[in-house]
Amino acid sequence: EDDMRRLLRLQYRGRSVQLHESDTVSHATQAMQAYFSGDLTALDDIKVATGGTDFQREVWAVLRTIPAGRTISYLELAMRIGRPAAVRAVGLANGANPISVVVPCHRVIGSNATLTGYGGGLSRKRWLLEHENALPPDLSQAATARLPGF
């Protein structure tokens, strides 16, 4: 809980975030359970409120438009925000995503179809893409990038 509160303070600087216990299961929890049970569109209507810069929020908004079962490259993501030369900045914004899975940064892969950096680790990224049937069929364990790259 201490780590969560620290991360909330970092993400929502200058804003007061109140946490409270509840006996009811939230819509977000229900959606996460449905997603992990196989309903890959269950997260699509979860409302999110992120901190971050305008640029980061723009990248994160585009991430939410990538449908389950699909992947795009960092270059494609940069092109979708109208900044094809900002591939590295897009990669950094992708990596700073505070709401992984709901804001599906795992759906962004290298231009050469390799798995690249993921805050939760490449094994989790691989699992999420397999769960969504989005892992390119010819992507072998050996083809997985070991270090973050764009």
Q: Which residues are catalytic?
A: 105
> How far apart are alpha carbons 115 and 124 in whole angstroms?
11
Contact 115, 74 (CB under 8 A): no
Q: Torsion angle, CA of 117/121/126/128, rounded to 10 degrees?
A: -110
Contact 134, 69 (CB under 8 A): yes
Contact 142, 114 (CB under 8 A): no
Look at the chain and count its residues.
150
State the angle between helix axes of 54-63 and 87-95 in degrees (0 to 180), rounded to the nearest 10. Answer: 80
List, in sequence order, every beta strand (DSSP E) within the chain: 72-73, 108-109
